Structure 1
Amino acid sequence: MNFLKKIFGTSEKPTDSWTMFSTSKKEVNDLLVSTGQLRIGSDFLQIDDYPFQPSIAYGQTKILVDTIDEIDIESYPPTIKVKDELIFLTSEKRDKIKAFARRNDLRTVRRPDIWGWILEPFLDTEFTKETDERLTRLLNEYGLTKETVDLIRKEVKTQMLKYNFHTMLWEWGGLGAEDVLKAMRTKYDKEDFKEFYDKVMKLALSTKKKEK
């Protein structure tokens, strides 16, 4: 039922909504792309087949421990921060990532789930007025006005609905920065995706506004 509400809520005419979901088999496969295979060395991380070309992790580059600013082990998936970007690791190796962080005395943090809050309307669950108001307040604490959030949601709406529903992912617990990058990489060309990638990183690394 939530699936049907979201589809038929995307257009004034149901036929237009269904047209939006005429996704090729190739795009479905691309939407569900793997974030690569993580290799953990004594003092480096390396991800084979990382899918996001703007990232320093793209092309199997070794990420040396002294270039890692911080790590969020508890996020889903775990992430490391290198300069102005987050790099997504695999949750399947969370324990080994913890050991790597401890062994190399990496700074650990717990980041707010900015993109999770932005993408909540695209989950396979009801998005209530109360939820909308709560998330609006949270996002405003990080400098994001309702108008800005509405524009972002409008930009990613079609791709996120494809990503979560046409692929039959049916995610209801949470979507995040990794998911929106997977969704939008099938739409944008190289230049536009680089611009979008930078925006995703900037928002993902937002900090709470200081109270005056």
Structure 2
Amino acid sequence: LLQVYAGAGLIGFVADISTCHCRRSTGETNGNNEGSKICQATEPAFIIPEPLKWNPTIIHRDLHLSLDDLFHGCTKKIKISRRIMNEDGYTSSIKDKILSINVKPGWKEGTRIIFSKEGDQGPNSIPADIVFIVRQKSHPMFVRQLNDLIYKAQISLEMALTGFSVDVETLDGRLLNIPISDLVHPTYKKVVTEEGMPLSQDASQRGNLIITFDIQFPDKLSAERKHLIKQALK
């Protein structure tokens, strides 16, 4: 017979009276001719194991980082408040702790940083793990796609047809001057190799900078200009 000792987390097993050989056993057999004695004890015999410990749910927290943080790498220090067991093993108190996160260049959205057993302590529980999940903030100039950076340049129709140069200030403060000699159509992209995000596995390698174009068409054209454009495109 399995007994659960409620509230204390203890599991007790009642001894099988057909095979008990305690001092209170009578001389009667159990009917199987093996000579086992039947116990007349009124209290059950318990086998008491160690208290069971439960593992609470993992604690998830967002870690908001700028694109500059993820490009250069940085150190973030986060203060948490957690319940700590006192020396008596029964009472607890709230104490603050600083967790330090070393952000590596090239980390992506969704990267997880795990602090094992840094959650609240309890008398019969294992402290939960705290998991920080990287959330990338938006950037005014660039959109990130994996290891590539997307930059959108606004140009006029004249520039799209005749050529121009694009100036792009990189995340590490350099100014790139990129000549465009091709005819630029709405789906045209200019790829500048190794000017994107560093790779988290090897920061010496980089993704690409991809320039897209928003072509600004004129609101209206005079008849003379329309004629000139037709002549030029023949």
- Structure with more of its chain in strand, by fraction: 2
Q: Would you say same fold, with TM above 0.5?
A: no
Q: Which protein, 1 or 2, shows the higher relative CO under an 8 Å CA cutoff with sep ≥ 6? A: 1
- Structure with more of its chain in helix, by fraction: 1
TM-score of the two chains, using structure 1 as the length reference: 0.21
TM-score of the two chains, using structure 2 as the length reference: 0.20
